[in-house]
Amino acid sequence: MAAGGLSRSERKAAERVRRLREEQQRERLRQVSRILRKAAAERSAEEGRLLAESADLVTELQGRSRRREGLKRRQEEVCDDPEELRRKVRELAGAVRNAKYLVVYTGAGISTAASIPDYRGPNGVWTLLQKGRQVSSAADLSEAEPTLTHMSIARLHEQKLVQHVVSQNCDGLHLRSGLPRSAISELHGNMYIEVCTACAPNREYVRVFDVTERTALHRHQTGRACHKCGAPLRDTIVHFGERGTLGQPLNWEAATQAASRADTILCLGSSLKVLKKYPRLWCMTKPPSRRPKLYIVNLQWTPKDDWAVLKLHGKCDDVMQLLMDELGLEIPTYSRWQDPIFSLATPLRAGEEGSHSRKSLCRSREELQAEDQGAPLSSAPVLGGWFGRGCAKGTKRKRVT
């Protein structure tokens, strides 16, 4: 026996006693939990006595139940009634008119009308994964077009009512709505942009197709090479668990400058569960009285609701239609044949045509027909691209040999 210590047999005995007590505590917890699920009138005298003797466990279990119910309520989608929504939009319109520097933060909720699923809605990527269901990547997100909300934001910027847009979305729809590059910070990248990081400054290549079909979490090379130096090109996507390091299209410098100048922030279609982690976007170093006024449009709870001057529970397109009507502004119509991306895009070089199998955006119906009639595609498998990639990081997968 070690000096001043217990013998091996004594340590084993103490460990058995500890485990026995833990098992007894777990069994008591299970008993109390079963009793609490019964209506009070259905409990026996013995069960009532057990609850009285286990007040600490009752308090703990009731607290757990309240937290579970609270989480469920936070996931529910809530819609304001039409009259209430119109009243709130009138208040929002006044804030937009009076703002000296308005910044818009956008999330996946503004693209659901373009048939791109969000992340935390009832059928969102994270929601489905938490339920143990499979998430299939969208076949080709270039089929999506800018929504009414995207086009409204572009018009508000054109009218100098919105100064900057900070987006979590990778779908490129802000760019395709006509919003200038200088007015957008795409914090998580853009599916149409690949870059050469060997060139200084980084050389960008805007494409008319999704560049991410062969990329994934921690694997960013697209399979094409820089036209200038020949180095491999990489996508610009920032997956869950990654830190964005590219200057563009993330444009963090402009995002933080805009946030510091903003007197009003409008959040559209974002759960804010990711954006809340970026303190530079919320001016938390300023005293509360000098922070921007916050307006939120989202169907679900967000962690910034208590900070908001106004929370509008409605679909983004519905709210933006009402807002543009209230402001007396016409919403531009998107034309697929005049998509702004065509003037920004770098064409593939000879020999690169087979480097992707994604459908390309087309300038005309004639191009679209030619594309549909079977231009040669790569034989490489389509891997799904950025959508949903990285969401299930850490899950075990069978190694392919």
CATH number of 82-188+249-332: 3.40.50.1220
State both tokens at 201.
Answer: 């400054």
Q: Which string of DSSP letters, residue by residue, matches 27-60?
A: HHHHHHHHHHTS-GGG--HHHHHHHHHTHHHHHH
Chain position carrying tokens 């933006």: 320
Which has more confidence, 216 or 89? 89
* In the predicted structure, residue 76 carries a pLDDT above the cut 60: yes
The response to whether 199 counts as a known ligand-binding position is: yes
- pLDDT value for 385: 57
What is the C-alpha to C-alpha distance for residues 112 and 225, in angstroms, rounded to an integer? 33
Q: Comparing 70-74, 143-147, 359-363, which segment has the lowest mean pLDDT? A: 70-74
pLDDT at 289: 86
Closest residue by Cα to residue 275 from 252, 299, 257, 247: 252
Asked if 70 and 232 touch (Cβ cutoff 8 Å), the reply is: no
List beta partners, residue 235.
194
Predicted local confidence at residue 209, as pLDDT:
92
% helix, strand, coil for the chain, step of 5: 40, 10, 50
Q: Which pair of structure tokens corresponds to residue 353?
A: 């045509």
Task: Provide the residue type at 52 as one letter.
Answer: A
Distance CA 207, CA 221 (A): 15
Q: 139-153, 208-222, 279-293, 374-388: which has the minimum mean pLDDT?
A: 374-388
* Cα distances (Å, whole numbers) of residue 22 to 15, 62, 368: 11, 21, 68
Q: Is the pLDDT of residue 358 over 90?
A: no
CA–CA distance, 276 with 279 (Å, rounded to integer): 7
| Cα dihedral 335/337/339/342 (nearest 10) | -170
Joined together, the tokens standing for residue 287 give: 């005293």
Q: Is the pLDDT reported for residue 252 higher than 90?
A: yes
- Percent with pLDDT over 70 in the chain: 83
User: How far apart (Å, rounded) are the C-alpha atoms in residues 49 and 35?
Assistant: 11
Whether the per-residue pLDDT at 398 is higher than 70: the answer is no
Total Cβ atoms within 10 A of residue 192: 28
**174, 188, 239, 356: which is the annotated catalytic residue?**
188
- To the nearest whole number, what is the mean pLDDT of the chain? 85
How many angstroms separate the CA atoms of 61 and 50, rounded?
A: 14
Summarised one tens digit per residue, pLDDT across range 280-289 is 999 888 888 8
Residue pair 166/258 in contact (Cβ under 8 Å)? The answer is: yes
Domain ranges of the chain: 82-188+249-332
DSSP 110: G
Annotated catalytic, 164? no
Q: 78-132: per-residue pLDDT in tens?
A: 899 999 999 999 999 999 999 999 999 999 999 988 877 655 555 544 444 454 5
Sign of the dihedral through C-alpha 180, 182, 183, 188: positive
- CA neighbor of 195 nearest in space, from 241, 147, 158, 227: 227
User: pLDDT category, 318, cuts 50, 70, 90?
Assistant: very high
CB of 194 closer than 8 Å to CB of 167: no
Say what the pLDDT of residue 365 is: 64
More confident residue, 324 or 219: 324
Axis crossing angle, helix 82-98 with helix 316-327, rounded to the nearest 10: 60
Within 8 A by CB and 6+ apart from 74, the residues are 300, 301
pLDDT in tens, 302-314: 999 999 999 999 9
CA dist 258 and 281 (Å) reads 8
Rounded Cα distance, 233 and 219, in Å: 12
Pairing of strands 264-268, 203-206: unpaired
CB 270 within 8 A of CB 149: no
**Phi/psi of residue 167, nearest 5 degrees:** -120, 140
The pLDDT confidence band at residue 64, using thresholds 50, 70 and 90, is confident
Rounded to two decimals, the pTM is: 0.76
Does pLDDT of 36 surpass 80?
A: yes
The per-residue pLDDT for 135 is 46
Q: Confirm or deny that 283 is annotated as ligand binding.
A: no
Residue 24 confidence class, pLDDT cut points 50, 70, 90 = confident
Q: CA neighbours within 13 Å on the CB side: how many for 329?
A: 24
